[in-house]
Amino acid sequence: MVKLIAKSPCMGLLPKTIGAVDLTEVEPALITLIAPFAGQTKAVSAALKDALGVSFPAPNRAVGTGARAVWVGMGQALLMGANCPDLKGAACIDQSDAWAIVRIDGVDTSAVLARLTPLDVRDSQFKRGHTARTLVGHMTASITRLGVHSFEVMVMRSMAGTLVHELEQAAENMAARATA
């Protein structure tokens, strides 16, 4: 029998510290895409709230701490860190292995991201609990603010290497400017 080895998307690439920026991989055991059917968003949200204590997030918002729900597009959210309850009014798709997720911490984080995305990530515009679908370099990505100096960036798993490379490069450039 072939012995298969489970590999995380960023295995061998992270963690890394560059200047004042820490890059770490986030591995929620389970990721489920939830897409409520037409007219079912309220009912689905109530069912989620009952089962896990998180509601279906409004556009551009991420909710919850243990079980988290992150808005990822029109009529779609990702449930992370919990088993998806039986939801009658929604399509629920297991995407646990589909995403590469990198957490960025440190005082320079918004400056690093500003080099890579057209999104305005300044504190005044993009607060904790805010999330957005946007670009990181040429990749479509999901960016969520976790705290004052913390962000989470998600891309499709096949782009894990590129995401780490882009973040590294931007962080190195920031660090070089700091010491110049």
User: Residue 89, class by beta-carbon neighbours within 10 Å (0-12 exposed, 13-18 middle, 19+ buried)?
Assistant: middle
Helices assigned H by DSSP within the chain:
41-52, 109-114, 160-179
Please state the closest distance from residue 149 (CB atom) to other proteins, in A.
23
Stated as kind and residue range, the H or E segment containing 142 is: strand 139-147
Residues 117-136 that bind other proteins (CB under 8 A): 118-119, 132-135
- 39 scored as a contact of other proteins (CB under 8 A): no
Which of 53, 66, 73, 147 is the binder for other proteins (CB under 8 A)?
A: 73
Please state the closest distance from residue 161 (CB atom) to other proteins, in A.
20
Please state the closest distance from residue 25 (CB atom) to other proteins, in A.
23
The region of 48-56, 70-78, 147-155, 169-177 touching other proteins under the rule CB under 8 A is 70-78
- 140 scored as a contact of other proteins (CB under 8 A): yes
Assigned token pair, 2 = 């072939």
- 60 scored as a contact of other proteins (CB under 8 A): yes
Q: Which residues contact 106 (CB under 8 A, 6 or more apart)?
A: 19, 20, 21, 22, 149
* Strand arrangement, sheet containing 76-80: 62-63, 68-73, 76-80, 31-36, 90-94
Residues 77-96 that bind other proteins (CB under 8 A): none
Total residues at the site for other proteins (CB under 8 A)?
Answer: 12
Of 13 and 163, which has the nearer Cβ to other proteins? 163
Asked if residues 102 and 29 have their Cβ atoms less than 8 Å apart, the reply is no
Bridge partners of 80? 31, 68
Give me the residues that bind other proteins (CB under 8 A), please: 59-60, 73-74, 76, 118-119, 132-135, 140
